[in-house]
Homo-oligomer: A and B are copies of this chain.
Amino acid sequence: MTSVEEPARPGGRIRDAARTQAEILDVATQEFARAGFAGARVDEIAARTRTTKRMIYYYFGGKEQLFTAVLERAYAVIREAEQGLDVEHLDPVAAIRRLAEVTFDHHEQHPDFIRLVSIENIHEAVHIAASEKLGKIGSPALDVIRRILEQGQQSGLFTADVDAVDLHAMISSFCFFRVANRHTFGALFGRDLIDPARREHYRTMLGDMVIAYLTAERATA
């Protein structure tokens, strides 16, 4: 989260377009994640900024476009994390496990991102569809998965014939659910999925699950 924290120059306005925009995005991210799109209040966002509501409309055009901008920046962060993925030197099993751990860690560390994605799904991804930036950016993680999978399958280590997108879905679903559904799951089953005491347990469980799936003897269909 690129947060902006310079103290206001005492007396007189500050004129810094980039800073103002970044600050609006920071606060808007929190507010949308807190209350959903409809529940978020433009006035509330403005109030928690060092600028005014006028600026939100000046820079972003409206509530809808602001939400889109928030989404775009949130996705940029995860793409960046995936860019830094360096697992090509590992053997396929270790590489997949490492990849799963990176996803696990990122989701855990960015609950606001998870909430934004949940919210965007309630709105059937209209903002992503409308965004040029988000439209056709394939995840860098996908390319990595593709290469590891190929290696593992050629060497005969991986028996499953999944493709990269499906494996990505499998890993994401576990990591996403753990964060997104934390509250209802906790309320209904009395178990906090985010409890630090169980963190390693779930992190290992995810890796075990994925590797077990990839390396299991498949019924000769």
Q: A residues within 8 Å of B by Cβ?
A: 35-39, 115, 117-122, 124-125, 128-129, 134-135, 137-139, 142, 160, 162, 165-166, 168-170, 172-174, 176-178, 180-189, 191, 193, 202, 205, 208-209, 211-213, 215-216, 218
Point out the residues of chain B lying under 8 angstroms from A189, CB to CB: 138-139, 142, 165, 168
**In the bound complex, what is the Cα–Cα distance between A173 and B176 (angstroms)?**
8
- Select which of B128, B174, B182 is within 8 A of A184 by beta carbon: B128
**In the bound complex, what is the Cα–Cα distance between A193 and B169 (angstroms)?**
9
Stoichiometry, as copies per complex, reads 2
Point out the residues of chain B lying under 8 angstroms from A213, CB to CB: 208-209, 212-213
Is there an interface contact between B119 and A188, defined as CB atoms closer than 8 Å?
Answer: no
Is there an interface contact between A173 and B162, defined as CB atoms closer than 8 Å?
Answer: no
Is there an interface contact between A121 and B180, defined as CB atoms closer than 8 Å?
Answer: yes
List the 3 shortest-distance A-B pairs measured between CB atoms, nearest first: A173-B177, A38-B39, A125-B183
- Select which of B115, B128, B134, B170 is within 8 A of A174 by beta carbon: B170
Given A117-B181, A118-B180, A121-B182, 14 other A-B residues pairs in contact with their CB atoms under 8 A: A35-B38, A35-B122, A36-B38, A37-B39, A38-B39, A118-B121, A125-B183, A128-B188, A129-B187, A138-B188, A142-B189, A165-B189, A170-B209, A173-B173
Is there an interface contact between A119 and B122, defined as CB atoms closer than 8 Å?
Answer: yes
**In the bound complex, what is the Cα–Cα distance between A137 and B190 (angstroms)?**
10
Nearest CB to that of A34 among chain B residues? B122
Point out the residues of chain B lying under 8 angstroms from A125, CB to CB: 183-184, 186-187
**In the bound complex, what is the Cα–Cα distance between A13 and B61 (angstroms)?**
48
**In the bound complex, what is the Cα–Cα distance between A186 and B125 (angstroms)?**
9
Is there an interface contact between B134 and A188, defined as CB atoms closer than 8 Å?
Answer: yes
Is there an interface contact between B169 and A177, defined as CB atoms closer than 8 Å?
Answer: yes
A129 to chain B minimum Cβ distance, whole angstroms, is 6
Nearest CB to that of A214 among chain B residues? B212
Point out the residues of chain B lying under 8 angstroms from A142, CB to CB: 189
